[in-house]
């Protein structure tokens, strides 16, 4: 009898035995996999290993630089060994940062440089988590935050990082001016009227045009928000999602495959007194789901029934605090991820199809699927350009095979006209991107102009831009 989450977690190897020993038809083993093998910490040239957060990308850069100011940065960009790749917190899943040339960190160029009215001028090496308290000193906040706040501002802007909220843009959508140092060491200040083409190209630019040292970004009043987290059936969550996006400041849902359940999360402004969030519960929830997968992955109906018995009565969680303390959470359990941004009218149909497909084909998957809304903006490489988008993000535990993301999930997203998150796994090439980004060629022209020798391009970016 399953009575406690602990029992499930302890029951780790069950399904592997059943699947193997009893000859059950699933091709995919659902027990725990071993730790992925780590690459050597030093390569043959004595260069030290760099890895991204999930461990799926790595490199042995010949040089690592952390310039202290724009003059040092300009010299580095002109003289350092190419490919030169800016890196923030290394939280992207795609091969944007890896280089055997120079890895350039902006960590030493951080903090708030000044204010222009309610717009803050922020150095891009600033981590989002550090920016919260700096803006709060002035009674201001970023209008929104992503799931976590470990990213650097430069890295977050570079891949069009977003949170959720029908009326709230991705972070780059609130940038009103930026300063770019190009690979030739030239400093360009750009906004909607001055160097406007550079502005539109650089707001989301994958670190391919040079290094953005600072941006001017809109802020909003640092209001308290009420956070609510609650479980319900997946059908009910699907039926009510549009209404919730229309009424809540921030709303997202997580479809939990193989459970028939969804987790809803809303945030709304309030003047109620602070009631800080309790300890992080992500790990315990995921451990329960992993235990269910390990124990009952061989039989979906049994797994669903057990999930209901175990999870459906989980009490709602509520908290009240300033937005910068609530909107991001900890994500201690590592994963690999694919996220596409879909026209909103297709979002829930695509989600339902992804859940059905995973439940049919991949009993090893247990991570919840994240579903968000983002308001439009007009940056040339913004996935949200041309209209609002609804994102669907599928995660795979870091020890698990994630080939299903490409084989099963990406074709669904593409059929529904999705655009990939630049920092998350996808297989689109230059031709395919050109078809879904009306200003793709304009971006490539600005890139050619600013970096004719391709000093910023690693093999991944060359492939993406069709330059190989």
Ligand X SMILES: Cc1cc2nc3c(=O)[nH]c(=O)nc-3n(C[C@H](O)[C@H](O)[C@H](O)COP(=O)(O)OP(=O)(O)OC[C@H]3O[C@@H](n4cnc5c(N)ncnc54)[C@H](O)[C@@H]3O)c2cc1C
Of 84-92, 218-226, 272-280, 398-406, the window that binds ligand X (rule: CB under 6 A) is 84-92
Nearest to 59 by CA among 88, 89, 85, 91: 85
214 binds ligand X (CB under 6 A): no
91 binds ligand X (CB under 6 A): yes
Among 67, 207, 260, 363, binds ligand X (CB under 6 A): 207
Nearest to 93 by CA among 404, 456, 427, 408: 427
Total chain residues near ligand X (CB under 6 A): 32
85, 458 in Cβ contact below 8 A?
yes
Residue closer to ligand X, measured from CB, 124 or 250: 124
| 159 vs 424: CA distance, rounded Å | 9
To ligand X, the closest distance from the beta carbon of 206 in angstroms equals: 4
152 binds ligand X (CB under 6 A): yes
86 binds ligand X (CB under 6 A): yes
89 binds ligand X (CB under 6 A): yes
Nearest to 297 by CA among 392, 424, 377, 400: 400
110 binds ligand X (CB under 6 A): no
Q: Which of residues 254-283 bind ligand X (CB under 6 A)?
A: none
Among 50, 53, 60, 258, binds ligand X (CB under 6 A): 53
142 binds ligand X (CB under 6 A): no
92 binds ligand X (CB under 6 A): yes
424, 337 in Cβ contact below 8 A?
yes
* DSSP, res 48: B
x/- mask, ligand X, residues 161-180, rule CB under 6 A, reads: xx------------------
Of 74-82, 207-215, 216-224, 446-454, the window that binds ligand X (rule: CB under 6 A) is 207-215
Among 212, 215, 296, 342, binds ligand X (CB under 6 A): 212
User: What is the secondary structure of 188-244 as a DSSP string?
Assistant: EEEESSTTHHHHHHHSS-TT-S-EEEEEEEE-EE--EEEEEEEEEEHHHHHHHHHHH
CA angle 225, 227, 231 (to 5 degrees): 160
Among 19, 122, 142, 156, binds ligand X (CB under 6 A): 156
How far is the first Cα of the chain from the last one, in angstroms, to the nearest whole number? 58
Q: Which of residues 323-352 bind ligand X (CB under 6 A)?
A: 331
159, 419 in Cβ contact below 8 A?
no
Residue closer to ligand X, measured from CB, 144 or 222: 144
| 160 vs 406: CA distance, rounded Å | 21
215 binds ligand X (CB under 6 A): no
Neighbour count for residue 247 (Cβ, 10 Å): 11
Among 106, 265, 306, 355, binds ligand X (CB under 6 A): 106
| 192 vs 171: CA distance, rounded Å | 16
87 binds ligand X (CB under 6 A): yes
390 binds ligand X (CB under 6 A): no
Residues near ligand X, by CB under 6 A: 53, 85-92, 96-97, 106, 124, 146-148, 151-152, 154-156, 158-159, 161-162, 206-207, 211-212, 331, 421, 423
């Amino acid at each position: 009898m399953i009575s406690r989450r602990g029992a499930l977690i302890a029951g780790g190897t069950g399904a592997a035995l059943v699947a193997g020993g009893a000859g059950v038809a699933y091709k995919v083993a659902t027990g725990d996999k071993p730790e992925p093998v780590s690459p050597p910490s030093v390569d043959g040239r004595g260069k030290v290993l760099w890895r991204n957060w999930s461990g799926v990308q790595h490199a042995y850069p010949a040089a690592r630089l952390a310039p202290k100011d724009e003059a040092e940065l300009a010299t580095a960009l002109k003289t350092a060994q190419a490919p030169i790749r800016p890196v923030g917190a290394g939280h992207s899943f795609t091969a944007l940062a890896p280089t055997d040339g120079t890895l350039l960190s902006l960590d030493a160029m951080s903090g708030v440089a000044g204010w222009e009215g309610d717009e803050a001028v922020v150095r891009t090496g600033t981590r989002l988590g550090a920016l919260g308290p700096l803006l709060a000193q002035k009674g201001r906040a970023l209008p929104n935050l992503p799931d976590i706040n470990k990213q650097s501002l430069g890295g977050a802007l570079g891949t069009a990082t977003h949170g959720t909220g029908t009326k709230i843009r991705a972070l780059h959508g609130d940038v009103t001016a930026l300063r770019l140092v190009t690979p030739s060491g030239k400093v360009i200040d750009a906004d909607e009227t001055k160097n406007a083409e550079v502005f539109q190209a650089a707001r989301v630019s994958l670190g391919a045009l040079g290094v953005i040292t600072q941006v001017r970004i809109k802020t909003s009043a640092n209001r308290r928000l009420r956070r609510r987290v609650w479980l319900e059936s997946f059908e009910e969550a699907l039926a009510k999602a549009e209404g919730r996006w229309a009424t809540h400041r921030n709303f997202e849902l997580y479809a939990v495959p193989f459970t028939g359940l969804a987790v809803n999360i809303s945030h709304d402004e309030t003047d109620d007194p602070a009631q800080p969030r309790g300890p992080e519960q992500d790990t315990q929830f995921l451990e329960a789901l992993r235990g269910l997968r390990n124990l009952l992955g061989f039989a979906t109906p049994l797994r669903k029934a057990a999930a209901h018995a175990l999870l459906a009565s989980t009490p709602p969680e509520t908290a009240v605090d300033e937005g910068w303390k609530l909107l991001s959470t900890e994500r201690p359990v590592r994963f690999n991820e694919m996220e596409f941004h879909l026209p909103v009218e297709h979002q829930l149909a695509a989600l339902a199809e992804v859940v059905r497909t995973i439940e049919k084909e991949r009993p090893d998957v247990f991570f919840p699927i994240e579903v968000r809304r983002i308001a439009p903006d007009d940056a040339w490489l913004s996935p949200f350009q041309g209209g609002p988008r609804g994102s669907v993000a599928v995660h795979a535990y870091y020890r698990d095979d994630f080939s299903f993301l490409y084989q099963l999930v990406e074709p669904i997203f593409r059929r529904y006209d999705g655009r990939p998150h630049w920092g998350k796994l996808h297989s689109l090439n230059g031709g395919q991107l050109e078809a879904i980004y009306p200003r793709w060629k304009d971006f490539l022209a600005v890139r050619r102009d600013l970096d004719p020798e391709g000093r910023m391009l690693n093999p991944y970016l060359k492939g993406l831009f069709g330059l190989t």
